[in-house]
């Protein structure tokens, strides 16, 4: 999703109301078995969290306060995977034509390797957080094709062999499932998607290649548009391995029946022969938060994670950072926030317990084709 820069984002987030120190919001990171351990026991590959580089926190003046953050992120068993929130995006890695800088993304990637975390890499072609020159250049088809190939070749090539998956194309669809009028689409049409996946497959053949987008968690026109992308690439025999459901949810919009609809969507993608992952999960609240919307948030987390556990093609969950002050939400949605699992004082949301319940529900993972008889999803409902 849209993230301006980590430094400005974190400064903006400091205005969020603080949770009461010492208040018991859940089991926290000291629990005997963390979320990643529970996820693997439930059949997932990982439970992870996106993170930004320490350098970005230091520039925001926050370097002194977050040893606790690093302890949870890197040294606990809460997370077995990470995604660099910003550092691999075009704005950071190719700030000028043909000039590449891997510093920010490399900090997170190196920490992931050091601490044995899976690395999901994000994102090669996206209309947002582009370097300004990409949008101001007068492109021809030939010059834009060359720029896309150069960018993917250099960036995916730099991290070759280190990324479990790449989000190759990000957010190419409007809400009605039609093509977003990005700079890439305006010049090349849907060809840019095929070109991006072809190039990524050539550069890093062992990485899983994903299409990634938001509002794909419930059935609708955008889901059908995402299926069209999968089918388009498959028809042309272009490698696509996964569908990334960003899962930026709103607690107040959820319903108890959402788990069945989440399962329907995940099965639908799985039936096309691709794996599924929740790639940027958060559930934002109207702030100041209260007991009522925290309970709704818990249900939303429980439903979406519980759906993933029950669909065999859903391989993992990534929350979009885990610590509320580092969230993008208050910057983009004034009056909303507290979307993650850890409050400002490092106590956990009730939603943490909802995730634990989903991961330990012990329901059987189900295939893409609906089974006969009652759905096991009913067991996960509040």
**Residue range 271-289: average pLDDT?**
98
**Residue range 84-95: average pLDDT?**
97
Mean pLDDT score across all residues of the chain? 88
The beta-strand segments (E) located in 139-288 are: 165-170, 208-213, 242-245, 248-250, 275-286
Environment class of residue 185 by beta-carbon count within 10 Å: exposed (0-12), middle (13-18) or buried (19+)?
middle
Query: Which tens digits make up the pLDDT trace of 153-198?
Result: 999 999 999 999 999 999 999 999 999 999 999 999 999 999 999 9
Q: What does the CA dihedral 302, 303, 306, 311 come to, rounded to 10 degrees?
A: -160
Of 274, 160, 291, nearest to 210 by C-alpha is 274
* pLDDT above 80 for 368: no
Per DSSP, 180 falls in state: P
Task: Please state the φ and ψ torsions of residue 31, each to the nearest 5 degrees.
Answer: -60, 145
pTM: 0.88
CA gap 219, 298 in Å, rounded: 22
Q: What are the distances in angstroms from CA 118 to CA 11, 45, 74, 234, 379?
A: 29, 9, 12, 27, 30
pLDDT reported for residue 17:
34
Record the tokens describing residue 311, joined without a space.
Answer: 């669909």
* pLDDT above 70 for 248: yes
pLDDT reported for residue 75:
95
User: How many C-beta neighbours within 10 Å does residue 290 have?
Assistant: 10
**Residue range 353-358: average pLDDT?**
97
pLDDT reported for residue 371:
39
CA gap 336, 277 in Å, rounded: 25
Record the tokens describing residue 334, joined without a space.
Answer: 């004034």
Start-to-end C-alpha separation, the chain: 29
pLDDT reported for residue 61:
52
Per-residue exposure over 112-131, b if at least 16 CB sit within 10 Å of its own CB, e if not: beeeebbbbbbbbbbbebbb
Query: Which tens digits make up the pLDDT trace of 101-122?
Result: 999 999 999 999 999 999 999 9
For 43-57, 149-163, 235-249, 337-351, which range has the lowest pLDDT when averaged over its residues? 43-57
- Catalytic annotation, residues: 171, 280
């Amino acid at each position: 999703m849209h993230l301006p820069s980590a430094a400005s984002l974190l400064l903006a987030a400091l205005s969020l109301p603080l949770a009461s120190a010492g208040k018991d919001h859940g089991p926290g990171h000291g629990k005997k078995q963390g979320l990643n351990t529970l996820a693997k026991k439930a059949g997932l590959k990982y439970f992870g969290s996106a993170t930004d580089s320490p350098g970005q926190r230091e520039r925001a003046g926050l370097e002194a306060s977050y040893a606790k953050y690093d302890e949870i992120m890197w040294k606990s068993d809460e997370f077995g995977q990470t995604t660099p929130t910003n550092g691999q995006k075009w704005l950071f890695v190719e700030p000028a034509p043909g000039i590449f800088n891997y510093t920010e993304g490399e900090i997170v990637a190196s920490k992931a390797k050091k601490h044995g975390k899976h690395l999901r890499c994000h994102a090669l072609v996206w209309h947002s957080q582009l370097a300004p020159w990409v949008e101001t250049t007068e492109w021809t088809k030939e010059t834009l094709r060359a720029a896309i190939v150069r960018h993917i070749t250099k960036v995916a090539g730099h991290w070759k062999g280190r990324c479990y998956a790449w989000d190759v194309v990000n957010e190419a669809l409007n809400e009605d499932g039609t093509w977003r009028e990005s700079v890439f689409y305006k010049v090349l049409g849907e060809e840019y998607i095929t070109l991006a996946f072809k190039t990524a497959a050539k550069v890093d053949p062992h990485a899983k290649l994903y299409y990634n987008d938001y509002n794909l968690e419930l059935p609708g026109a955008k889901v059908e548009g995402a299926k069209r992308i999968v089918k388009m690439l498959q028809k042309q025999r272009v490698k696509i391995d996964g569908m990334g459901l960003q899962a930026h949810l709103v607690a107040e919009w959820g319903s108890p029946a959402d788990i069945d609809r989440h399962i329907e969507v995940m099965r639908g993608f799985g039936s096309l022969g691709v794996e599924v992952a929740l790639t940027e999960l958060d559930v934002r609240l109207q702030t100041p938060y209260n007991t009522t919307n925290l309970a709704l948030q818990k249900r939303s987390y429980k439903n979406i994670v519980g759906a993933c556990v029950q669909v065999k093609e859903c391989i993992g969950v990534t929350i979009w950072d885990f610590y509320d002050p580092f969230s993008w939400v208050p910057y983009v949605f004034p009056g909303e926030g507290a979307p993650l699992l850890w409050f400002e004082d490092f106590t956990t949301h009730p939603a943490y317990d909802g995730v634990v319940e989903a991961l330990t529900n012990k329901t059987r993972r189900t295939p893409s084709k609906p089974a006969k008889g009652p759905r096991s999803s009913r067991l996960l409902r509040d």
